[in-house]
Amino acid sequence: MYKAVFIDMDGTLLKSDHSVSEVTKHAIHKLQQKGILVVLISARPLHGILPISKKVVTDDMPVVSLNGGYIFHNNEIIYQAAVSIPDTIAVHQELKGFTGLSAMYYSQMEWFAEVENDRIKKEQKITSVKIKIQPFHETLHHWEAQKTGPNKILIAGEKHLILGIEQKLNELHKGKLNIFKSQASYLELMSLEASKANAIEFLISKYGIDKRETIAIGDNYNDKGMIEFAGVGVAMGNAPEEIKSVANYVTDTNNNDGVAKALHHHFS
């Protein structure tokens, strides 16, 4: 019997219009009525998750944001992992060699960028907290005063630029940072302690659940680790072939109730 389900948001739980179907909501509510742990696990910052999670899961469920860099439960931070200041500075310096890329730095409930542009405005539409546009050194001073760093660095740009910076950053930081695409045009960087798989491992340890009793559902490269880690890994029908190839089960697309169909298949 499965005791916990971990569900990615964009491209998985959410349809292309960022809504959650009533069929999917109903399937999730049925699981919660049976005492199943249902956790939303997303690359989004917490303030980009809560307006949706409140409509989908009960308030006593933990929420995993920033790809596992920040876990929130019962109005408390129960886990967080940040990129070190030296690594953050090194990444910032490397980005200067690439034109056309936008960097956003997420730290707890705040996020920062140096310049506002169309890509940042797109992210602002799904994030209730206003981004702080300021020089990087001011953001750096803020983190130093707080004795922390960003939980996630998001780099956005055209696909060919993302491939280039991904290769460069992997050469420099492999083994020091988690680096992967959440979309073809989004590259995400986190501490090695921050990943969706690590977040699942942390939570099931907290709840006394064996990983064989877990299901993870996702659609993209940042979901690969948790799909491989879970007892049953489910890939969405809209996932890339690389993600489908590591899954135990492939469901329908996000626009055709893929999450609800996967839950029905495994819990019927």
**Which pair of structure tokens corresponds to residue 4?**
């916990």
CA angle 45/51/52 to nearest 5° reads: 90
Tokens of 57: 């899961």
Q: How far is CA 178 from CA 68, 172, 189, 198, 259, in A?
A: 11, 12, 6, 11, 27
DSSP states along 123-137: HHTT-SSPPEE--HH
Residues 6 or more apart whose CB falls under 8 angstroms from that of 24 comprise 13, 56, 257, 259, 260
Q: Of 8, 10, 219, 257, which one is the catalytic site residue? A: 8
**What is the helix (H) or strand (E) element at residue 64, kind and residue range?**
strand 63-65
Phi, psi of 36, deg, nearest 5 = -80, 135
The token duo for 208 is 């006394």
Distances (CA, A) of 166 to 46, 171, 172, 174, 218: 25, 9, 10, 10, 22
- State which H helix or E strand residue 47 sits in: helix 46-56
- Catalytic-residue membership of 17: no
Residues that are catalytic: 8
